[in-house]
Amino acid sequence: MDLIIVLQAGVATGTVLLFATLGEILAERAGVLNLGVEGMMLFGAMSAFSIAVRTGNPWLGILVAMLAAGLISQIHAFITIQLQADQVVSGLSLNFLAVGVSLVLGEGLSKAGTVSLMTSYDIPLLNLIPIIGPVFFTNQKLLVYIGYVLFPLVWYYINHTRPGLHLRAVGEYPAAADTLGVNVYRLRYLYVFVGGLLAGLAGATISLAVSPGWFSELTTAGQGWIAIGLVIFAQWDPLRAAFGSYAFGALRRLVLDIQGPMTLFGYANPFYYNPYWGFFLQMLPYAFTIIVLVIGSREAVRKRLGAPAALGLPYIRGARGL
């Protein structure tokens, strides 16, 4: 087993988590917790694959996936922002809805055909850097490179631009933002939509680039939930989110690949000879998410960091409180 190859594939897997996590960070920074990420991703994965199979154009598939997930996210936006319902319950219901609709519309899609593999690229010069070059800049899909550009951009946008300031204000102290003429409702709708777009992109990345195909609920296999966990671990910071996503991607890959070779570092590979241990390997990403949550939550308490102050609270103009 070539560790470099595993890490290289891990970065691609991590890109999925990265997109979803960034989207959720933007929505939560605006004060809207959207637990429907898993469902939106599945909806995106289904739409992307379905369009790509029919038209043969993966980029059209990605576009449709993003719009589809963005649109379905607006149900949650409407229910929580307009109707002021509980964000936890509404997010869960969006999740059920999106999963259900994906399964219905994706019926028979697994046998509908295949999509041609998206082309992989090397980045000249950068791919010559030892270790980093082959892991990050060799033989990766364009989507992966988009990820590298996206997370610093999102970080810069949130922390160093005026719209980013408005975004943070809406999530921390919407009443103050409102008095200054920021349209709290419109911005919250907008960022839930952006979160949906990115979740759709994450789903499309799975079904078109990372593990092409439609495998009903197994397509996403809980990655949306892991992304929500990563948001907490990342303390709502896109840079930490990138670190977490790629690390998790590598872990997911490692868990899959470690069972393949007969020897590991010159020793007999116990996972090869005991294939049933694979079930314990399967648990690892999920167990790790819990561990990462413990770390993130402890750190938040210690450093007095935390969620955006208005996260989960509906904004009612003229009401007391936040």
Partner 1 sequence: MAEIVRSRPGRLARLFPYRVRVEPRLKEVPRWYVLMLSALSVLVALLIGAGVIAIAGGDPWRSYAHIARASFGSLGVFSDTMVKAIPLMLVGLACSLAFRMRLWNIGAEGQFFIGAFGASAVVLIPILPAEAPRWLFIITMIVFGMACGALWGFIPGYLKAKFNVNEIISTLMLNYIAVAWNNFFIFAVWTEGGFQMSRIFPQNAWLPRLTDFSAQFPIFRGLTTHFGLVLALLVAVVVWLILYRSQWGYEIRLLGDNPNAARYAGISTGRNIILVMMLSGAIAGLAGMSEISGVVHRLQGAISPGYGFTGIIVAWLAKLNPFAVIFVSILFGALILAGREIQPSGVPKMIQGIILVCLIASDFFMRYRITLVRRGEEK
Question: Which residues lie near partner 1 (CB under 8 A)?
Answer: 35, 75, 78-79, 83-86, 88-90, 92-108, 216, 221-222, 225-226, 228-229, 232, 276, 279-280, 282-283, 286-287, 289-290, 293-294, 297-298, 300-301
Question: Which is closer to partner 1, CB of 142 or CB of 281?
Answer: 281
Least spacing, CB of residue 152 vs partner 1, in Å: 26
C-alpha of 142 from chain center: 17
Compute the least distance from the CB of residue 33 to partner 1, in Å.
10
Task: Evaluate whether 321 touches 174 at the Cβ level (below 8 Å).
Answer: no
Between 117 and 294, CB nearer to partner 1: 294
Q: Minimum Å distance from CB 287 to partner 1?
A: 6
Contacts (Cβ under 8 Å, ≥6 apart) of 207 = 44, 45, 46, 48, 49, 52, 213, 214, 219
Q: How far is the CB of 74 from partner 1 (least distance, A)?
A: 12
For partner 1, the closer CB: 43 or 136: 43
- To partner 1, the closest distance from the beta carbon of 211 in angstroms equals 17
Smallest distance from partner 1 to CB 296, Å = 9
Q: Which is nearer to partner 1, 86 or 257 (CB)?
A: 86
Q: Taking the CA atoms of the chain, what radius of gyration do you get in angstroms?
A: 20
Q: Which two tokens stand for residue 169?
A: 């204000």
Nearer of residues 85 and 256 to partner 1, judged by Cβ:
85
Compare residues 89 and 126 and give the one whose CB is closer to partner 1. 89
CA distances 48 to 25, 36, 204, 265, Å, are 23, 18, 5, 40
Provide, rounded to whole angstroms, the least separation between the CB of residue 214 and partner 1. 12
Token couple for 272: 């090869």
Nearer to partner 1, 80 or 140 (CB): 80
Q: Angle between the 162-172 and 184-205 helix axes, to the nearest 10 degrees?
A: 100
| Residue among 279, 285, 277 at smallest CA distance from 221 | 285
Q: How far apart are CA 35 and CA 44, in angstroms?
A: 15
Q: Are 213 and 57 in contact (CB under 8 A)?
A: no
Helix, strand, coil shares of the chain, percent, nearest 5, are 70, 0, 25
